[in-house]
Each structure stands twice: as structure tokens, then as C-alpha cells.
Amino acid sequence: MIVPNFAAIASRYLIQRCHELDNMLKTMNIRPEESGDCEAIFAVHANCFPTTAEARLVDLLRAAGRLCVSLVAEEDGMENNRIIVGHVAFSPVTTEKGAVGIGLAPVAVLAAHRRRGTAAELVRRGLAASQAAGHTWAVVLGEPAYYGRFGFQPAGRYGLSDEYGGGDYFQALELVAGEMPTAGGVVKYAPEFAKFAW
């Protein structure tokens, strides 16, 4: 009886998958939001979430001048047009003691363009842009297993909590060594978040 070499099969699959992802990323471009992107960004969030709350939140943050970092992912479309398939937003957050950081929310990628590393690349580039803009720490309310890959840890370890009872889902990341506020208490998002029932 011939026994399949599962290790070799898995290795070939992983190599093939890496090549596929590499080719996909080569066709993707991530750049800062431009003035003509608003409708496409709204459409991305409206299509990715059950309601338009996230899409309207981005519009409100933009109108208030609180969209600190806003990046889009675009890919080749029909007739050589580039189409926006993903977006990530970062806006200011503040601790009870007045320390100002940056909050990652929301992030979305159209369903047909997922599982290609697009969201992860948006997050990485967004964090790098936040650091370059002078922000020293960041928070996110999301899946720990996912955001842990970027270095986020439960914010409670730093004495930080959120307004929404997120527990370990509320996470923090130090963008500049030694700059994470400790025992800062509740971290508040921009006032535009309060307009929605999360």
C-alpha cells in the first residue's frame, strides 16, 4: 500500500498558496484616501456590515476632521480601471487622564476580495502611517486571534478599558516604545462613535 506523503503535499500547497497571495498583492495598491473616494468607501462599508452605521461613521469622522489616517485598497477592474475594494480608518482616542492615541475602526474588504491578505495589509500600512504621523499608541476592538498578529494585546494589561465592555477584545499596541499610557482608565473614542448604538 502506498502511503501519501502528507508533509510533502502540505508543503507544495503552502508554496502554491504563497505564490498566489504574492501575485494578488502585486495587483493591489494601498494609498491614502483622495477626495473622489468617498462614495466608493461608503459602498465598501455598507456592503460589508449589516447596516450603514460604519459607512456613516467614516463620513462623520471625515466631516469633523477626525479621520487621522484613511487608507484604501484598490485592485484592477474592468477596462483597466482601478476599483476600491477595501478601506481602513483611524481616529483619535483619549484616556481619562488625557493621553491621546489612535483607534483602528472600521476596516472592511469586499467579500469577493477577501482571503488575499488585503485587510491585513491595510492594518499594517495604517499602523505604520499612524506611527509616521506621530501617534505613539493604538487601540482596537476586535478579535484577539486576528489582531494579535499585529502585536495588539489585551488593553487591560496596561490598565486600560473601553466604553463598550469589550474585555479582552479591547486591545492596545505600543507604536513607540515606552509611550503606552498605563492605568489610564477608560479610553474614549471620537464623539462621532457615540451617535451609533454599537
Q: State how many domains the chain has.
A: 1
Which is it for strands 29-32 and 185-188: parallel, antiparallel or unpaired? unpaired
**Per this entry, what is the length of the chain?**
198
Assign 49 a pLDDT band (cuts: 50, 70, 90): very high
pLDDT in tens, 75-105: 987 556 789 999 999 999 999 999 999 999 9
Within a domain: residue 139?
Answer: yes
Q: Contact at 8 Å (CB) between 192 and 64? A: yes
Give the integer Cα–Cα distance in Å for 181 and 102. Answer: 12
Within a domain: residue 157?
Answer: yes
What pLDDT, on a 0 to 100 scale, did the predictor assign at position 8? 53
pLDDT in tens, 119-162: 999 999 999 999 999 999 999 999 999 999 999 999 999 999 99
Within a domain: residue 53?
Answer: yes
Within a domain: residue 190?
Answer: yes
Which is it for strands 82-95 and 160-162: parallel, antiparallel or unpaired? unpaired
Assign 24 a pLDDT band (cuts: 50, 70, 90): very low
Within a domain: residue 81?
Answer: yes
Mean pLDDT on 63-70: 98
Of 2-6, 10-14, 161-165, the range with the highest mean pLDDT is 161-165
* CATH code of the domain in which 128 resides: 3.40.630.30
Beta bridge partners of 73: 30, 86
Residues near 114 by Cβ (< 8 Å), separated by ≥ 6?
Answer: none
What pLDDT, on a 0 to 100 scale, did the predictor assign at position 76? 83
What percent of the chain has pLDDT above 90?
Answer: 80
Cell of 100: 491621546
Q: Supply the range of the domain harboring residue 145.
A: 29-195
The C-alpha angle 37, 42, 46, rounded to 5 degrees, equals: 150
Within a domain: residue 154?
Answer: yes
Give the integer Cα–Cα distance in Å for 129 and 20. Answer: 27
* Whether this model's pTM surpasses 0.75: yes
Cell of 77: 477592474
